[in-house]
């Protein structure tokens, strides 16, 4: 298994515009862009921090994973994404090692990255996203 870096940290927010004020005006981070990822029922905003990014996620649907997360746990840290060089190989290897994958095949996330989530029950309580980007 090879992990290249922390790709991004995913933060569930109730209101993207409101939350951006803190990250931009108070922390002084720059907004790289926003995007809707239909498949995940989210609107995302990316703010680079060094070689990684903070990903703010607002739900676009009451049945989406971010809406459910906020309902159960409140707004806050929702996932950590690790960059891998080859996501198909990483999924295969993790499955062989007994890790429960939410996605057994890659999906497409923000910026066209290939992504796959590992279940928090097999990662010591952290929802882990694998991400492969060109
Ligand atoms: C745009 C894209 C990108 O970067 O490009 C994204 O990031 S999209 C980011 C949003 N998309 C996703 O999150 C997709 C993957 N997520 C999922 O499939 C789901 O949210 C699950 C993680 C499977 C949780 O599903 P659901 O809420 O229905 O299950 P549940 O409430 O029964 O939770 C099962 C157990 O997992 C725990 N649990 C739930 N969400 C968690 C989280 N984010 N971090 C850590 N633990 C978590 C619950 O507390 C519970 O533990 P106990 O049983 O001990 O109480
Ligand atoms: Co993410």
**9/48 Cα distance (integer angstroms):** 10
pTM: 0.97
Task: Tell me the ligand closest to 77's alpha carbon.
Answer: 1
Distance between Cα 30 and ligand 2 center (Å):
18
pLDDT digits (tens, 9 = 90+) for 10-63: 999 999 999 999 999 999 999 999 999 999 999 999 999 999 999 999 999 999
Cα gap 98→14, rounded to integer Å: 34
Q: How far apart are the CA of 97 and the centre of ligand 2, in A?
A: 23
At 123, list the tokens: 């990662």
CB-neighbour burial class of residue 33 (10 A; exposed 0-12, middle 13-18, buried 19+): exposed
- Asked if ipTM goes beyond 0.90, one says yes
- What pLDDT digit, counting tens, does each position of 83-124 carry? 999 999 999 999 999 999 999 999 999 999 999 999 999 999
């Amino acid at each position: 298994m090879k992990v290249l870096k922390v790709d991004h940290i995913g933060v569930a927010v109730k209101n993207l515009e409101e939350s951006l004020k803190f990250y931009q005006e108070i922390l002084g981070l720059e907004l790289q862009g926003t995007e809707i990822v239909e498949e995940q029922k989210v609107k995302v905003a990316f703010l680079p921090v060094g070689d990684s990014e903070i990903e703010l996620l607002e739900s676009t649907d009451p049945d989406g994973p971010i809406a459910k997360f906020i309902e159960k746990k409140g707004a806050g840290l929702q996932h950590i994404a690790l960059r891998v060089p080859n996501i198909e190989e990483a999924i295969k290897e993790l499955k062989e090692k007994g890790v429960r994958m939410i996605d057994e095949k890659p999906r497409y996330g923000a910026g066209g990255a290939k992504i796959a989530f590992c279940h928090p029950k097999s990662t010591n309580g952290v929802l882990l996203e694998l991400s492969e980007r060109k």
